Amino acid sequence: MIRSDTVKQILEHYRVIWALGHAQSVMGWDSETYMPEEGIKGRAAARAEIAQLIQRFMLDEKFVKLVEKAEEEKDLTDVERGIVRVLKRDLKFYQRVPPEIVKEFAKVTSEAFVVWRNAKEKAKFDIFAPHLEKIVELSRIIADKLGYEEHPYDALLDLYEEGLTSRDVEAVFSVLEPGIRKLLNKLEAAGWPKKHPLEEVPYERSKMETAIVEVLELVGYPKTRFRIDVSPHPFTIGITTPFDVRITVRYRGVDFKEPLFSALHEYGHALYELNIDESLAMTPVGNGVSLGIHESQSRFFENVVGRSREFVAKMSPILRKHLDLAKYTDEDLFYYFNTVRPSLIRTEADEVTYNLHILLRYRLERLMITGEVKVKELPELWNNEMDRLLGVRPKNDAEGVLQDIHWSHGSIGYFPTYTLGNVVAAMIYYKHGRVRELIAEGNIAAVKEYLREKVHKWGSVYPPKELLVRSFGDTYNAEYLVKYLEEKYR
C-alpha cells in the first residue's frame, strides 16, 4: 500500500510521533480510571511536556519538507494521499498554534478535569468556572491562529469533523428541530410510555457487570484486544488501534439500561477502531476519520441494533439470568429501553429528544467563542434553554451545566458530532436495508462486516464527507434520521 519512498521516510519519522501519542493515550485513560486524585499534579506537567515534544517532532524541518515533497508527487495511492492529507492538517495546527499555547492548553485541560469532577460532585459551577474561562480563552486563540472563512467556531468544528462548518450544522438542525418537535407532539397524543417501573428497580453491580460482558459476547467483542473499566463519564480510547481498545461504563445501582446501553454505545466506538485495516496501524491514517463518523458507529450499535425489538429478544435471556425480570415480558423490556420523555441528562436521553440536548450545547458554544456569552452566565442560560427546548429545568448545576465532561477536556466544537453520528447511523440503516432481519437471524457478524467494508477498514484514508459519498452516496442528510424516528415510533 506504500510505494512512495518519500512516504516511507515520512512514516519512519512518524513512528516517534505515534509513540508519544500512544503514551498520551495511556496517561489519559489512567487519569480517568485509576490515577489517585493528587497524581494530577505530575500528570498535567508530563502531558504538557509530551504535547510540546509531539509539536517539536511534527515541525522538524526535514519532516515538513518530506510532507511537502510527497504532496507534489503524482502517482500516490489513496492510502498515501490520505497520509499526506492528515499530516498537512496536523502541520497546519502545529505551524499556526504557538508551542506555548499547545503546552498551556494541555496543562489547563489536565487540571480542569479533576476540578470539573469535584465541581460536579458538589454541584457548584463556580468551582469550575475559572478553569473553563481559561479553556475558552485558549480556544479563541487557537481558532484565530487556525483561521476560518465565516465564523471562529468553524475552526474548532473542523478539528473534530474535517470540513464541517456552522452552515452544515445549521442545515442539519433546521430539519431536526421541527421534525423532533412534531414527533414529540404525536407521541404525547398517542400516549407513548414516558416512564417504566424498571427505571426504579435496583441492581447489583457485580451481576450487571457480568450481564454486560455476556451481551458484548453476543455481539462478538474480542477479549484479547478489549477491556472494560469504570469512570465518571463512559468513554472509549484506542491505545494501539486495532490491537488495544478500552471502554468504560458507570454504575449507579438503579435503572440498568443506563450501563447496558453505555456499554453497547462504547462497543460501537471500539469496534470501529478494532476493524481498521491492520496495515494502517501506527500511521497517521490508523484511526477513525472523525468524531461524527465515530459517533455514527456507537449510536448504530446503541440504538439501531441495541434498542430494536429483534436485539431485545436476543439479549433478554442474558438479562433474565442476572436480573430480577420474571414479571416483565420482552415487550416490556422493549418499551423500557425506548421510553420517550424530555429529560435533564444528555447521556440518559432517548433517541427522540437526544439531539435537542446537542442543539443547546452547540448554540452556547458558538456564543462563548464570540464572547456574546460569558462563562459566568452559562448556568442560567443553560437552564433557560433546557426549559425552552425540552420543558424541563435543572435543580442544580450537576444535572445542568456541569453534567458533561467535554469542556473540561477543552473539546469545544465536539458536541455537534454527536448529532452527525445519529444522522449517519440512520443513513446506514436505510442504505443497508436488512439490519433488523439479520439481527433476528442472529447474524450480527454480517452487520459488522458491512460496517467494516463501508466505514471501518478505511481509517482516515478518506475525509469524512468523501467516505460517506463513496460508501453511501450521501453525507449529513438529516431526513434519514427524521424518517427513522417516525417509522420506529409510529
Q: Which residues are annotated as a binding site for Zn(2+)?
A: 265, 269, 295
Please state, in angstroms and rounded to a whole number, the distance separating the CA atoms of residues 92 and 204.
50
Euclidean distance between CA atoms 8 and 124, whole angstroms: 52
The three grid cell numbers given for residue 156, joined into one nine-digit string: 474548532
* Under 8 Å between Cβ of 161 and 291: yes
For residue 242, whether the previous peptide bond is cis, meaning omega lies within 30 degrees of 0, is: yes
List binding-site positions.
265, 269, 295
Q: b vs e for 37-71, b when ≥16 Cβ sit within 10 Å of the residue's Cβ?
A: eeebeebbeebbebbeebbebbeeeebeebbeebe
Q: Show Cβ contacts of residue 466 under 8 Å, excluding neighbours closer than 6 positions.
A: none
C-alpha cell at position 89: 492538517
- The single residue listed with the C-alpha cell 499530516 is 87
As a whole number of angstroms, the distance between CA 145 and CA 431 comes to 40
Handedness of CA 452, 458, 460, 466 (dihedral sign): negative
φ and ψ of 230, to 5 deg: -120, 140
| Chain mean position to CA 195 | 27
Q: Tell me how far apart the terminal alpha carbons of the chain are, to the nearest angstrom.
A: 48
430: its cell numbers: 436505510
Orientation angle between helical segments 99-122 and 5-33, nearest 10 degrees: 30
Strand ordering across the sheet containing 236-240: 226-230, 244-249, 236-240
The set of catalytic residues is: 266
